Amino acid sequence: MAARSEAAYPVGWKNGRVASWLVTVDHKRIGILYIATSLVWFVAGGILALLMRTQLATPNEAFLTKNSYNEVLTMHGTTMIFLVVIPILAGFANFLVPLMIGARDMAFPRLNALSYWLFLLGGIILWLSWFAKGGTAHAGWWSYPTLSENLPFASPGHGQDYWILSIHVLTLSSLLGAINFIVTIHNMRAPGMTWMRMPLFVWSIETYAILLLLALPALSAAVTLLLLDRTVGTHFFIPSHGGNIVLYQHMFWFFGHPEVYIMVLPVFGMISEIIPVFARKPIFGYKAVAFSTIAIAFFSMLVWAHHMFTTGLPVGLDSFFMISSMVIAVPTGIKIFNWIATTWRGNLIFDTPMLFALGFIALFTMGGLSGIFLAAFPVDWQVNDSYYIVAHFHYVLFGGSAFGFFGGLYYWWPKMFGRTLDERLGKWHFWLLFVGFNLTFLPQHMLGLLGMVRRVYTYHQGGQWEAYNLVSSIGSGIMALATLVFLINVWRTNVLRKGIRAGNDPWLADTLEWYTTSPPPAHNFDSVPYVTSARPLRDLRRRLAEQPQ
Amino acid sequence: MRRKLPSLVLAVLVALATAGVAAAANGGFTPVEPASPNAHHIQHAYYLILGFTAAIFVIVESLLVIFVVKYRSRGRARAVEGAQVHGHTRLELIWTVIPVVILAIIAGFVFYELPNIDSAPAAADPIHVTVEGHQYYWQFDYTDSPNQARSIGTLHVPAGAVVDLKVVSPDVIHSWWIPALGGKIQAIPGRTNHTWFQADPGTYDGECAELCGVFHASMRATVQAGSQQQYRHYLATWQDTIGKQIWNGVCATCHGNLGQGGYGIAIANNSLLTQKSGLEGILRNGFTGAQGSMPPVGDTWTQEQIDAIAAYVKKNIYKSAPVGATGGG
C-alpha cells in the first residue's frame, strides 16, 4: 500500500467502494445489485403479507381494514411480481449467462446498467406512492377499470398514477434487459457451444427474454390507455362513454399469462442445473427439457383468457382456452418427470441447493395439479377469485419460483462471493420455509372451496373458516422466521466473513461458470476451453483424471 | 435421520391430501354442498378431476420420495457418479402421451357436463331477476312482478323454480357468487351477463368475488329459497320492508347501524334525513363536500325505493338530540 505511487497509478473516484458499484457495467456486479435489491423488496413485500395474515387470523379483526387493506394487497402483489420475482431472475441471468456461455460480459454492458437503474427507479416510484395523495393504488395488481379509473368512488388521487408510471419504467427496464440477453446468447457463446450444448438455464433465459419482448408491450399499451383515461379524459375503459372494460382484461392477461411463465421458466432452468449436479448425473432427456421450455412459452401466449372465465365469454372461447390451458400441462409434466428421472440411480447429495430443488418439485407439482381444476372452466366458475386461487398461485409462485431462486442462491452464492452459505442454517431455512409454506397455503385451498373470496379484509364465519385462517397465519409467521434465518446466514457469511472459502468448483458442477475463480475476475475468463458437450466441466475433470501424473 | 426427513414430511402431505378425498364435502375438500343442478354438475367435474389429479399427485410425490430415499448418497464421495443415463425416448413418449389422454378425458367430460351447467332446463318456466352489483350492495329487480318488486341483499325465490339472472353493474366490476348455487359471473359495467340456478329449499349465502372498493368485504348476498307462497307474499308486500332493507344493506355499511357514523359521517341527527327532496338528490347523484364524499348509491332506484328510505330514516333513524346520548347498541 505504502509503496504505491499515486502519480504513476492514479485511483479515480470511480474505483471507490461505493462509487464503483454506482458506475459499474460489469454484468456480475449488476447481477448482484439486481439480486440484492430484489431481496430488499422481498422482505418489504413479505412484511405486507404478514400484515394481511395478521388481519385475517381471526374473524372480524380490526387490525388493517378497508382502504388500508386494499392498498396493502395491491402493493404486496405488485411488489412481489414486478420488484421481486422478475428482477431477481434478471439478476441471476445477468450474473450467469455470460459466465455460462464463456463470454466476457453481456453484449451491451451500458444498456445492462441502464436496465438495473430503471428497475430501481421503477421500484422507488411504486413505493413512493405510499406518500401520494389518496394513498397507493388500491385496485389490486391487475388494476381492473373502472375501479382503477379516476372516478370519485374508484381510484381518485395519485396512487394509481404512480403505479402506472412505475409499470412503464419497469417494462422499459425488462425490455432492454430482454434484448440484451437475446443478443448475448445468440452471438457470444464459447467456441464449440452449439445450441444443443448450451446450459439449460441459458435456454430458459433465451425463452424468458423472447416472452418478455412479446408480452410486455401489451401491458404497456393497457396501462397507457388507462393513464390517458385518468389524466386527459379519454374513455377507453369507461363504459358510460362507450368504453369497453373487457378490452382491458384481454390486454392485461395477454401479458399476464406469459408473465406467469416469465416468472417460472428461468426457475425451471435453475432446477435443471441443480438437480443433475447433486444427483451426479446428466439431466434426463436434455432435448425434451429444452424443447418443452419452448413449447410452454409458445402455448403460454394462447391461454390468457382462462383468467377471464367468469367475465361471461362465449362458450366457444371458454372451450378454446380450456383446451389450450390443458395442453400447456403436458410439456410442464414432461419437465417434472424428467427431473424425477434424473434422480434415478444417482448419488444424491442433499446440500441445501438440492433440498430447495426437490422441495420445488414437490410444491410445484401441487400448484400444477390445482391448475387443472382452473382450466376446466365450469369448475373455474366455482373456485375463481376465491382463496383456492390464492393457494394455487402461491404454490406456483412461492413453492415454485421462490423455492427455485433460493436454491439458486445457495448454489451460486460461492461463485458470486467466493464463500459458501452455511449449510446448517441453510437446512434450517429450508425446513422452516417448507413447513411454514404448506401451513400457510394448503388450508387456503379449503377456504376457497368453503366460499371465502380473495381480497376481503375480514370475514365473519367462525368454525372451519377461523381454524384454517388461523393455521394459515401461523404458517406465515414460520415463513417469516425462515426468511430471518436466511438473512442471518447472509450476514454471517458475507459480513462476518465466516462462510467457508469456496474453490472454483465446490459442487463438482458441469457448466462453464465453475471454470473460473470464485468470485470471477472482471474479465471472467483468461481462456475458455473448447466446449464438446453440455457438460464441459465434467469433460475437463475426466480429461485431467486420465492424464498421467 | 436428517435425510429421512424429506420423505417423512412428504408422506404427511400425501396422507393429508388423501384424507381430504376421504373427508369429502366436509372441511373444504370439495366445493360446498351443492343445492342447484348446475352446482351439482360442477361438483361432478370436480370429482373427476380430483380423482385423476390425486392419483398423479400420489404417483409423482411417491416416486420423488422413493428415489430420494433409495438413491441417497449414503456417504459416497461427491466425485462418485450416478448412472450416466441421458434419457429414454420410449419412456419419455409414455409420460407425454398418458397426460394427453387424461386431459382429453377431462375435457371430454367437461363438454359432456357443460349443457347441464351452462343452460337452464328448457321445460321450466323461469323466474326472471335482474341482479345489480352496486358499491356495496346487491339489488334484485323482480322483472316478472307487476308491481316492480325489488329487494336489497336478499333474493327471495321459490324453491325448485328455475331462476334466470341478468347480472349487471352501474359502477365497477363485481362478481355474483352463491357457492351452493353454482359458479361465479362478473357484473360488468356496460355489459349484461347471464346465469341461473334452481335452488333446493334453504338459505344460501355468498359474497361479491371481485375487488370492488373499500367495502368489498361487506358486499354479501343471501338467497332465500322458500315456498311459492312466501315468494308471492314477498312480492306483494315488498314496499313494507324495502326501507329497512335499504338502510341495513346500503346506508348502515358506512354510517353505522344507528347512523352514529363509521367510515361515513354520523347522520342520525342530521336534519337532512327529514327532507325528502334533498335526500333524494344525494342518493341519486352522490355528494362531494368538506365532510367527505358519498357514492350515488341510489342512482338506479325507483321512486318507491326513494320514498321508502326517506320515510324509514325519518321515522327510525333521525334523532334531534346527539346520538351519543342514547348509546350505540
Cell numbers given for A318: 371458454
CATH number of the structural domain spanning residue A153 = 1.20.210.10
CA angle B136, B140, B141 (to 5 degrees): 135
Hey, is A282 helix, strand or coil? Answer: coil
Hey, is A227 helix, strand or coil? Answer: helix
* CA nearest to A255, candidates A175, A161, A179: A175
- Identity of residue B291: Q
Cell numbers given for A121: 427507479
Backbone angles phi, psi at B245, to 5 degrees: -60, -45
Per the CB < 8 A criterion, the answer to whether A106 and A97 are in contact is: yes
Rounded distance between C-alpha atoms, residue A475 and residue A162, angstroms: 33
* Among A147, A303, A363, A435, the residue to mutate for chain B (most B Cβ within 10 A): A147
pLDDT at B4: 56
| Residue B23: band (very low, low, confident or very high) from pLDDT cuts 50, 70, 90 | low
Number of structural domains (chain A) is 1
Rounded distance between C-alpha atoms, residue A307 and residue A41, angstroms: 27
Look at B73 and A348 and tell me if their CB atoms are within 8 Å: yes
Please give the DSSP secondary-structure letter assigned to residue B178: -
* CA nearest to B29, candidates B63, B66, B54: B54
Q: How many CA atoms lie within 13 A of A52 on its CB side?
A: 23
Domain that holds residue A54: 42-546
Burial class (CB in 10 A: 0-12, 13-18, 19+), B101: exposed
Mean pLDDT of B70-99: 95
Active-site option among A173, A292, A352, A518 = A173
Domain for residue A363, yes or no?
yes
Cell numbers given for A452: 371465502
* CA nearest to A206, candidates A174, A180, A184, A182: A182
Cell numbers given for B281: 338528490
Hey, is B75 helix, strand or coil? Answer: coil
Mean pLDDT of B321-329: 48
Cell numbers given for A522: 472482471
Rounded distance between C-alpha atoms, residue B322 and residue A502, angstroms: 75
CA angle A494, A495, A499 (to 5 degrees): 40
Helix axes B37-70, A352-375, angle to 10 degrees: 160
Q: pLDDT of A389-431, one tens digit each?
A: 999 999 999 999 999 999 999 999 999 999 999 999 999 999 9
* C-alpha torsion angle, residues A147, A153, A159, A164 (rounded to 10): 30
- Give the ipTM of the model, two decimals please: 0.93
pLDDT at B20: 53
Rounded distance between C-alpha atoms, residue B300 and residue A388, angstroms: 34
Q: pLDDT of A180-195, one tens digit each?
A: 999 999 999 999 999 9
For chain B, domain boundaries: 2-75+84-118, 127-238, 252-326
Interface of B with A in 24-83 (CB under 8 A): 27-32, 39, 41-42, 45-46, 49-50, 52-53, 56-57, 60-61, 63-64, 67-68, 71-73, 76, 78-83
B6 pLDDT above the threshold of 80: no
Interface of B with A in 294-313 (CB under 8 A): 295
C-beta atoms surrounding B269 within 10 Å: 17
Cell numbers given for B73: 448418497
Measure CB to CB from residue A310 to each of B186, B212, B213 and give the nearest one: B186
How many angstroms separate the CA of residue B48 from the nearest CA in chain A? 10
Please give the DSSP secondary-structure letter assigned to residue B169: B
Give the rounded percent of residues in chain A with a pLDDT score beyond 70: 98
Q: What is the residue whose three cell numbers read 417434472? A: A336
Backbone angles phi, psi at A77, to 5 degrees: -65, -50
Per the CB < 8 A criterion, the answer to whether B238 and B155 are in contact is: no
The number of residues in chain B equals 329
pLDDT at B319: 86
The structural architecture, per CATH, of the domain B127-238 is Sandwich (2.60)
Per the CB < 8 A criterion, the answer to whether A273 and A96 are in contact is: no
Look at A146 and B68 and tell me if their CB atoms are within 8 Å: no
Burial class (CB in 10 A: 0-12, 13-18, 19+), A166: buried
pLDDT at B26: 62
Domain for residue A308, yes or no?
yes
Q: pLDDT of B265-297, one tens digit each?
A: 999 988 888 899 999 999 999 888 777 788 899
Measure CB to CB from residue A446 to each of B27, B76, B216 and give the nearest one: B27
Q: pLDDT of B86-144, one tens digit each?
A: 999 999 999 999 999 999 999 999 999 999 999 888 877 899 999 999 999 999 999 99
Average pLDDT across chain B, whole number: 90
Residues of chain A with pLDDT under 50: 1-2, 5
Domain for residue A184, yes or no?
yes
Cell numbers given for A109: 454492458
Burial class (CB in 10 A: 0-12, 13-18, 19+), B87: middle
Task: Domain B2-75+84-118: give its CATH code.
Answer: 1.10.287
Domain for residue A337, yes or no?
yes
Rounded distance between C-alpha atoms, residue A20 and residue A30, angstroms: 11
The structural architecture, per CATH, of the domain B252-326 is Orthogonal Bundle (1.10)
pLDDT at A236: 96
How many angstroms separate the CA of residue A529 from the nearest CA in chain B? 21
The residues near A394 (Cβ < 8 Å, ≥ 6 apart) are A367, A437, A440, A441, A444
Per the CB < 8 A criterion, the answer to whether A464 and B27 are in contact is: yes
Rounded distance between C-alpha atoms, residue A54 and residue A32, angstroms: 33
The residues near A313 (Cβ < 8 Å, ≥ 6 apart) are A305, A321
Question: What residues in B contact A152, CB-CB < 8 Å?
Answer: 286, 288, 293, 295
Rounded distance between C-alpha atoms, residue A32 and residue B214, angstroms: 40
The residues near A41 (Cβ < 8 Å, ≥ 6 apart) are A79, A83, A84, A123
pLDDT at B79: 93
